[in-house]
Structure 1
Amino acid sequence: MARGTDARGPVRIRALLTLLPTLLVPLFLLLASLFASATTTWAAEPESAQAAHLAARLRTNPVHVTDQLPREIPRSTAPEFAELAKRTGVPTYVLVLPPQRGDDRELLGAVHDELGRDGLYVLVDGVGVTEAAAFGVRAPVEDALTVTTYELPYDAGPLRSMERFAEVVAQGSAKAAARADAAREKYADDDPPAQYIGPTDRDNQSFLTGILLAAVPLSLLLVTAYVRRWRGRRPGAARPGAARPAWGRPWLAPALALLAAGGIALTATLLFDQTRSSAAPAPTAADLSARVDRVAAGLAKDPVYEDPESRSVLEAGQSNRLRERIRSFARSAGGGPVYVALVPQLSEDESAADPELFAASVHERLGRAGVYVVADPHDGFITVLNHGLRLDSTRLYFDLPEPIAYGDDAADEADDHLLGERLDRLMTYLDDSPRTAEPEHPSAPAPASDPVSETTLRPLFSGDFWPGLLLGAFAAVVLLTLVAGALGIAGAVIRRRNPEPLPTELLPYTAPTEPSAAYLLMVARSELRTLVRDMGRGEVDDPAARARLRDCADAALLLVDRDPGRLDDAATAPQDPAILVAVTLLARAGRAALAGELNDLCCGVNPLHGPARTRRHVRVAPEGPHRRMLPVCAECQDTAVVEPRTIPTLLLRLPGGEGAPYYETEGPLSAVPQDIPRLIAAVRDWAAATGTTGTTGTTGTPGTTALADPPAPA
């Protein structure tokens, strides 16, 4: 029996070992299933709580606008979003929320599951429509998102983005697809131009307007005045009594400057007509206080407040431990209440992303002393402020360890920024903080900027407009300098190509004794051109002077076949040097008559010296008693008295004249030693003898053409 019993024992053990895997495998699978279920439940819990809250809001109203973006999307815009949602043609639920950390499409799916209603679910943030999903309805969601993304500028704003999205959805699938393809093709490389400008752009507009408003009118005044003065200083310019052309009226430049200033100001006002830098509507006082009221009401019930519109960053165990430590700190010596607000701090919120201002506002609304902790679930930053407890506020604010305040590398990589662990360490830091004799309070934070003035552009004629005026005035002066330099260069070139006649008093010192043909042509061209020009500008009072002017001009033009332009080219100009000298003498006599001077004599030694002072006998040959009565200028008269033997060397000798004095050459110059009227008559006789055509002149000599009398004074 004993051996039989012993034999059955190993058999039973082997049987149990054989059945053991069969029993353990189901048990292992059951445990794994329970663990996975627990893990999934914990992972989905943050999003489920957020989705449940949002679904509850949509159950009350199909449009939910967050209270966390009052500077960009005030809650008061909810009716406008509701009106736009009706245009889609399908049941539409709109969530206007701050930017989310998780997947937007998963959030919409979770909200739909919680709400249990089919329709088009749209998610909007501070920029525009970011995601949409259709559940149980037909809607071209992807095409509508594409059109909204491509067609609108980045600053169009959420309302306009929602409007475009609803418009495309209402068009139907076919039209929406075609429009999406067209938008991709049109804006594949370039985005649509921005709809709004910023403060810097307005400063640039003001600066440019100031420059133009000062530079253009001032340039007109300065340049016109300078050009008028430059023209008046030129030789041969119109005399003060002469009639001015229309452009020379003194009132014209100020009138044009005034018109230019008015035109620039009006054009700038119409062109730079922007008044706002953003599409954000102006928030109401209720919009700006809604979130603070909500957080304060939540902290009045629970010292730990998590934003229900954001994914939870605290596990249930962490939340319970944090509350227990807060209660423990409140019971400690010198301790007190601690209020933890896990709320995003955004530039579009009422505090403009200032956690100190947000904490101060919540403290003021709650009206309780304590340590106020603002933990941002988006970036993980923690801000601690002591409002009324006997704690060292400086240590809490300035000496808070960085791993607690900002987190370390592990916190940056974690989705929840390890806020649960860091808040627990913060409570330890509070427990260890030294107590003070009196309650302490932080300094009052700076108020947030006014949301209306923040998006309102400054007037165009302000700011950088005034520096622009100064720069415009400087630019006008620079332009005047450039114009003056250009006119100076142009005048020098013109004088070189078409020199003005020299003043009469300089002629004896500059006229050569044996001039070249080129020199004689240049002087004749200059003198005749100046005479013709001045005859159209001046007025002659004396009838005798008018007659002399007419006769001199008529005779001078007769020598060039009535065409002063012949002197512009050496090929068409008269080839006889005597003719060129005669043209010069007659033109000078005509200009003298135009000035009211009747000089009958010109220097007989060298007619190019100009008018003669008197007549006297002068030596005309270096040897022998060869003398002749000649009119002489002042310089030649002095020379005839002091050095009479040098007079023969001063006699004018023409090119090709073989050294003979000018009055011995053929042509009209033989009459020069007599007087100007004889020279005029000699020119007419020469013209008749050479067959020059023309009409009858003042003396009735055939072959001449009389010029019209110069204008007499009115």
Structure 2
Amino acid sequence: MPVWNSDRPRLLRVLLALCAVAAVFATATPARAAEADAPAPVTQAAHLADRLRENPVHVTDQLPREIPRSTAPGFARLAKKTGVPTYVLVLPSQSSTQARQLLGAVHDRLGRDGLFVLIDESGITEATAYGVRAPADAALTVTRYELPYDAGPLLSFERFVDVIAQGGKKATARAEAARETYRDEEPADLYIGPSDRQNQSFVTGILLTGVPLTILLVAGFARRRRRRSGAGRRVPRWVVPGAAVLTAAALALAAPVVFDQTRSSAAEPPTPADLSARVDRVAAGLKKDPVYADPESPRVLDSRRLDRLHDRIRDFRRSDGRGPVYVLLVPQTPESESAGDSWLFAAAVHAKARQDGLYVVAAPDDGTIDVYNYGLRIDADRLSFDLPDAVTFGDSRADEADDHLLGERLDKLMTFLDKAPRTDRPDFESAPAAAPKADEHTLPPLFATDFLPGLFVGAFAALVLSAALAGVMWTGGRLLRRRDPAPEPTDRLPFTAPTEPSASYLRRTAYTELITLIGEFTDPDDRTLAWDHLDAAMLLVDGDPDRARASGTDPATLVAVIVLARAGRAVLTGDSDGLCCGVNPLHGPAVSRHHVRVATEGVARRLLPVCEPCRDTAIAEPSGIPGRLLRLPDPSLGNSRVPYYDCDDANDGPLAAVPHGIARLIDKVRETAGVH
């Protein structure tokens, strides 16, 4: 009994210890058994080999904005043209070393020979032939040198297949030629960006208003100068507006042909199924395991780290009723459905999985860790602002490690979550910003964006350019007039003449006609009728022809000089009947008299001698005669012009006698000069 009493406490302790061990095993066995039922982690190469075993072309669901899964038939169609078994993997970008090692590992896992090609969002990354004759290196060289950077994966693979089909010798020669041709320069881009389209729209707007408006303004200025100077034949009024309209129409039709780009990338528009494929895959995986490691990416958690993470997630969920934690080891690339936004990705997975909890997005490609709270009693602001940068972004050691030390940093994250204080009620993340539109590579229409500003700039540029041209023409005309060229004989009594001639035109024409008439008198003693014309004209300029080009001579006197000089030249040739056109004396001889309308309003008519064109106008279009009247400046009305027979100078001078014939004009000149 004493012995029993002394050993009793020891035996009790042993029994209690055995019970505790039994309890531990009783509680741990179901969890471990549940974890044992989950499939063992599959390596990246093994997963991809399984996919190629099902289909020789595997397109990832992680790049829908650049390479949608719906493009897989296009890659499969091209792969059949190589002539050898071809296996194509379309995955997010990797380094050249990783790509080479991955192809080798996939080949070993698959256990089949053939041409293995790895493609990412920019084109072909690596290609290796295992057990088949295919110029993979030469084809890869041609693809990299002959195509621009924006050619796109599908076009790159098409060029790659074409070179493979050529055979070894031709492929090698083509690779050498491509390397030599594009050694110092890259091929021109195939696509333009949104900023380039804005520039095209801006230029189109400038041309569409600038060119037609410049035509109208310059032609209007030239028409006014021609009307004042009498140079050249006046074109119909509809020609210039018609030319401007046709020019605008031609530019509007030609611009879409010249700027015919519609897309900024070779990427095909993704379908709704393309955009939801990865989210569906991850959400389905979370229902089996709270830690989802993307099978297409390199493993970043070994078995030990993975088991520890599972244990800590389970402990967190059981402690004080905090709730579940879901870890998503999934890359976040700009070409993904969420455009690289982990917040948007977590929200989409949460909506699909319909499970509240903490969603931890740990990207194995860049090592960033983001935490989003959906329904747990943890302050979301604390998760956003108090989480250490060493956990979120890592440190220098994490940057140098291939796995970014994600296992170690996730363990620190769980420690941080264990210490996080609880809130009174569940907290939820706000809704993230919407993802960019699915087809973000479609260029805006040409007649949009900066097209409207271009219209205003084009109009302003036309005004500036037209003003500059007008200034150059005016300055040039002034300089030419100062040179005082030798007078040139005009055509005999031309029927075309300005209706509102400028003073400079009248001075030049009067001087030229007068000098020409003087030169045609070969015999100074010849006293023909033409001498009366010359004598009357000389009386108007006080016997000095140079006074005809003096600035002080009034326009009515200059017109009279021109009419007398032309009539005198007509007498010398025997073609004068003594009448001058009363609509515009500069038209030359009249063929008949006719009652013509001399005002645009009312029915006022005058009996005037008319030239042949004015007679035809008076008969066919009587309302056109007022527009053919010669109009001269009236000093009493400032710069206004009136019909030549109504201005003060004409009423007081000899020009009023023009409608009564050349003989009456000569008499009037002599009468005014006091010569009988």
Say whether the fold is shared (TM-score over 0.5): yes
Return closer, same or farther for 1:610/1:417 CA change in 2, 3 Å cut-off.
closer
User: Contact conserved, 2:489 with 2:516, CA < 8 A, in 1?
Assistant: no
Letter of the 2:476 counterpart: A
2:434 corresponds in structure 1 to 447
Cα deviation per residue 1:592-635 (whole Å; 9 max; x = unaligned)?
A: x9xxxx66844769786679xxxxxxxxxxxxxxxxxxxxx99x
Greater Rg, structure 1 or structure 2? 1
1:398 corresponds in structure 2 to 385
User: How far apart, in 1, do the equivalents of 2:175 and 2:318 lie?
Assistant: 63
Out of 53, 62, 76, the position equivalent to 2:70 is: 76
Q: Counterpart of 1:191 in 2: which secondary structure? A: coil
1:66 corresponds in structure 2 to 60
Cα deviation per residue 1:241-280 (whole Å; 9 max; x = unaligned)?
A: xxx725x321111111111111111111111111111111
Letter of the 1:151 counterpart: E
Q: Counterpart of 1:410 in 2: which secondary structure? A: helix
User: How far apart, in 2, do the equivalents of 1:138 and 1:267 lie?
Assistant: 50
Return closer, same or farther for 1:344/1:245 CA change in 2, 3 Å cut-off.
same
Q: After the TM superposition, which residues 125-524 of structure 1 pair with which residues of structure 2 at under 5 Å, given as runs?
A: 125-234=120-229, 237=230, 245=233, 248-452=235-439, 454-498=440-484
Cα deviation per residue 1:2-29 (whole Å; 9 max; x = unaligned)?
A: xxxxxxxxxxxxxxxxxxxxxxxxxxxx
- The reply on whether 1:99 has 2:73 as its aligned counterpart is no
Q: After the TM superposition, which residues 100-119 of structure 1 pair with which residues of structure 2 at under 5 Å, given as runs?
A: 100=94, 103-119=98-114
User: How far apart, in 2, do the equivalents of 1:159 and 1:490 lie?
Assistant: 62
User: How far apart, in 2, do the equivalents of 1:588 and 1:103 lie?
Assistant: 110
User: Contact conserved, 2:380 with 2:429, CA < 8 A, in 1?
Assistant: yes
Return closer, same or farther for 1:412/1:537 CA change in 2, 3 Å cut-off.
same
Q: Counterpart of 2:205 in 1: which secondary structure? A: helix
2:520 corresponds in structure 1 to 558
User: Contact conserved, 1:552 with 1:587, CA < 8 A, in 2?
Assistant: no
- 341-350 or 224-233, which deviates more: 224-233
Q: After the TM superposition, which residues 534-613 of structure 1 pair with which residues of structure 2 at under 5 Å, given as runs?
A: 535=494, 537-538=496-497, 555-558=517-520, 601-602=539-540
Cα deviation per residue 1:119-146 (whole Å; 9 max; x = unaligned)?
A: 1111011111110111111110100101
1:11 corresponds in structure 2 to none
User: How far apart, in 1, do the equivalents of 2:545 and 2:190 lie?
Assistant: 80
User: How far apart, in 1, do the equivalents of 2:389 and 2:511 lie?
Assistant: 102
Letter of the 2:233 counterpart: P
User: How far apart, in 1, do the equivalents of 2:141 and 2:429 lie?
Assistant: 49
Could you list the runs of 5+ residues in structure 2 that have no partner in the other structure? 1-39, 500-509, 555-560, 577-586, 591-610, 613-676
User: How far apart, in 2, do the equivalents of 1:178 and 1:250 lie?
Assistant: 66
User: How far apart, in 2, do the equivalents of 1:481 and 1:263 lie?
Assistant: 25
Cα deviation per residue 1:200-235 (whole Å; 9 max; x = unaligned)?
A: 11111101100111110000001100111123234x
Cα deviation per residue 1:100-124 (whole Å; 9 max; x = unaligned)?
A: 2552111111111111111111101
User: How far apart, in 1, do the equivalents of 2:413 and 2:238 lie?
Assistant: 81
Q: Counterpart of 1:117 in 2: which secondary structure? A: coil
- The reply on whether 1:86 has 2:70 as its aligned counterpart is no
Letter of the 1:67 counterpart: D
Could you list the runs of 5+ residues in structure 1 that have no partner in the other structure? 1-45, 239-243, 500-524, 541-547, 563-577, 580-585, 612-632, 635-675, 685-694, 701-708
Cα deviation per residue 1:401-447 (whole Å; 9 max; x = unaligned)?
A: 11111111111111111111111110011111111111010110011
Letter of the 2:101 counterpart: E
Q: Counterpart of 1:109 in 2: which secondary structure? A: helix
Letter of the 2:77 counterpart: E
User: Contact conserved, 1:539 with 1:710, CA < 8 A, in 2?
Assistant: no
User: How far apart, in 2, do the equivalents of 1:208 and 1:377 lie?
Assistant: 46
User: Contact conserved, 1:404 with 1:422, CA < 8 A, in 2?
Assistant: yes
User: Contact conserved, 1:531 with 1:587, CA < 8 A, in 2?
Assistant: no
User: Contact conserved, 1:100 with 1:310, CA < 8 A, in 2?
Assistant: no
User: How far apart, in 2, do the equivalents of 1:539 and 1:587 lie?
Assistant: 28
Cα deviation per residue 1:422-475 (whole Å; 9 max; x = unaligned)?
A: 1111001111111111101011001111122x1111111111011111110011
User: How far apart, in 2, do the equivalents of 1:253 and 1:607 lie?
Assistant: 39
Letter of the 1:418 counterpart: L
Q: Counterpart of 1:131 in 2: which secondary structure? A: strand
User: Contact conserved, 1:139 with 1:173, CA < 8 A, in 2?
Assistant: yes
Letter of the 2:496 counterpart: R
Q: Counterpart of 2:407 in 1: which secondary structure? A: helix
User: Contact conserved, 1:550 with 1:710, CA < 8 A, in 2?
Assistant: no
User: Contact conserved, 2:538 with 2:545, CA < 8 A, in 1?
Assistant: no
